[in-house]
Amino acid sequence: MAGMKDFGDLKSFRDRLKVEEHLRKIEKAEREKRERAEREQAVEFRSAVKDVKQLPESDRYVWRPAHEAELRRQAAARRPPTDDEVQAILAESMLSDGFDVDGLLDEEPTLSWSAPGVGPDVVKRLRKRHWQVEDELDLHGLTRDLARRHVDAFLRKSNKRGIRCVRIIHGIGYGSAGGEPVLRGMVHSWLVQTSETIAFCVASRADGGNGALIVLLRPALED
């Protein structure tokens, strides 16, 4: 009887092996079917895009809306600030007279500057008066500290109004001590530091020449 039992167990084991082998064959067939389908799709895709050419990279500045975190920060900023926060904001936003612009600017009549990410075509169009000057600030007769405050307030106000292009008249410097154009260099330095400024260039002779700058502001990027 024990032998019959062993023989029955052996037959059951053999049947189980057959079932497992059959399942492995089915699984292998399904895998090969999927692989064939993937290869066929890859061939179809390569055939579909064989004539597609990659677009050349653009050096244009691309404006992107603020992220959600920035939007939340702006919403929180709408509440009335405390006295300490007001002082901190004023200290942070103060334009520095000692900002180093060596290597960014030169003193040639063709002087120009553009923010990182702004393509050279923007400066070329600015020189050709692609954007009409919508407002101007004349700094004649102002001290350096007063001129700095005027420039900062003027740029902020212009951006809020959606103004795209302005002229800042800083003068040649003949009236300053020693006849040196101190204010001119300061204005260059201040503009480079502001987030409102996208680009600027020396004005044409009709717009004031070396005594003025044509400044492109951030709303111009939303055209």
Under the banding of pLDDT at 50, 70 and 90, the label for residue 63 is low
The pLDDT, as a whole number, for residue 209 is: 82
Of residues 31 and 73, the one with the higher pLDDT is: 31
The pLDDT, as a whole number, for residue 222 is: 81
The pLDDT, as a whole number, for residue 191 is: 93
Place of tokens 């990410």: 117
The pLDDT, as a whole number, for residue 86 is: 47
Query: Domains of the chain (ranges plus CATH)?
Result: 112-222 (3.30.1370.110)
Most confident of 21-30, 88-97, 103-112, 212-221: 212-221
Average pLDDT over residues 176-185: 62
Q: What is the rounded CA–CA span in Å between residue 104 and residue 112?
A: 9
The pLDDT, as a whole number, for residue 155 is: 95
Q: How many helices (H) and strands (E) does the chain have?
A: 6, 5
Residues 6+ apart with CB under 8 A from 24: none
As a whole number of angstroms, the longest Cα–Cα distance in the chain is 125
The residue among 140, 170, 169, 161 whose CA lies nearest residue 217 is 161
Quote the pTM value. 0.53
The pLDDT, as a whole number, for residue 67 is: 52
Query: Is the pLDDT reported for residue 213 higher than 70?
Result: yes
Residues 68-126: tens digit of each pLDDT: 555 556 555 555 555 555 455 444 455 655 544 444 444 444 588 999 888 889 999 99
169: which strand partners? 138, 212
Under the banding of pLDDT at 50, 70 and 90, the label for residue 205 is confident
Query: Is the pLDDT reported for residue 152 higher than 70?
Result: yes
Side chain identity, residue 165: C
